[in-house]
Amino acid sequence: MKVDLVMWTLNGEKTLPLVLSRINQIIPKELVNQRLIVDDGSKDNTVTIARKYGWTVLNNEGKGISDAANTALKHVETSYFCSFEQDVFLSSDWWNKVSTLILNKQGVAAACGLRFLPRNNFCYSVEPYQLTRKDDYYGGYGKTLDNTIWNTTILRSIGGFPKVNFAGIDTFLFNSFKLKGYEWLVDYDVRSLHLHYGGLLSEFKRYYFYGLSLPQTYSRLNISLYENENTRCLFLRFVKSPISSFKMALKMHDSRLMFSYPIIRLCWLLGYIRGTSWKNS
């Protein structure tokens, strides 16, 4: 069985050579039908690098990840396809393990592994800590678009990738699959590297955009489990974050959490407040 490979890019020249080389190494060439990159108007050497590694480059028919993902989906020819982001360096066992979760498995819409930041990243321990509490995330922990195999027919049957402005595509899809009786499986032992260059400010901006996406995502899902996700709740989590960060730092043996986690909580809160005002405007 052959699969298509898709990726969406924007100014990814720093990470693409590593990422594309790794994909070519771990997914057997004879199993690959198409390699498709949807570019969002890169100003660097992204397109040149993609073509050098054997990928066909398409222009995003819209703007942002939602439109890029759906542009790619239009061109998928195989029953299953893989999606990647430009800064995720796959674990060596990614294909061998993740593919067994979904290929020819009834009712499985998607499967993926985890991806963690490099250990020298100031925010590294946040995601490993979340893994220790994955059951608190209503089954949504670890479900991302950046190292994922999809059942093409199932994904198309629910309308493809949802159109969202900032983030939350994975949250939306997970719940959409769940409502239709489909599974999204995660192998928690497959741990790829999220290169995510850009420094500490870039990490905090990422959490701000997560918060920014929440009001739109939750209002569209209209699912009762999110009723406690509101400004008051996020504010209280921020207020309690110094204590939480101390406990997290002890558990993960990483004192950096005492600084990074309260700021992350503040970014979530500020993003959510801004997102709420945009949703209601």
Mean pLDDT of 166-189: 90
> Do 239 and 145 belong together in one domain?
no
Task: Read off φ and ψ for residue 110, nearest 5 degrees.
Answer: -155, 160
Total domains, the chain: 2
Greatest Cα pair distance, the chain, in angstroms, is 54
Q: Specify whether the CB–CB gap between 130 and 157 falls below 8 A.
A: no
Could you give the CA distance from residue 36 to residue 23 in angstroms, rounded to a whole number? 13
Write out the residue range of the structural domain in which residue 75 sits: 3-197
Residue that is last in its domain, among 167, 197, 227: 197
> Do 50 and 140 belong together in one domain?
yes
What is the predicted pLDDT for the residue at 52?
97
> Do 253 and 156 belong together in one domain?
no
| Mean predicted lDDT score pLDDT of the chain | 91
> Do 192 and 178 belong together in one domain?
yes
Q: Specify whether the CB–CB gap between 80 and 50 falls below 8 A.
A: no
Whether 164 shows a pLDDT value over 80: the answer reads no
Give domain status of residue 40, yes or no: yes
> Do 66 and 152 belong together in one domain?
yes
Residue that is last in its domain, among 197, 226, 245: 197
Whether 224 shows a pLDDT value over 60: the answer reads no
> Do 12 and 113 belong together in one domain?
yes
Q: Specify whether the CB–CB gap between 267 and 241 falls below 8 A.
A: no
Cα first-last separation, the chain: 48
> Do 210 and 112 belong together in one domain?
no
> Do 207 and 258 belong together in one domain?
yes
- Residue in the structure block whose two tokens are 């790829």: 192
Residue that is last in its domain, among 171, 197, 223: 197
What is the predicted pLDDT for the residue at 222?
60
Instruction: Pull the structure tokens for residue 226.
Output: 């999110």
- The pTM for the full model equals 0.91
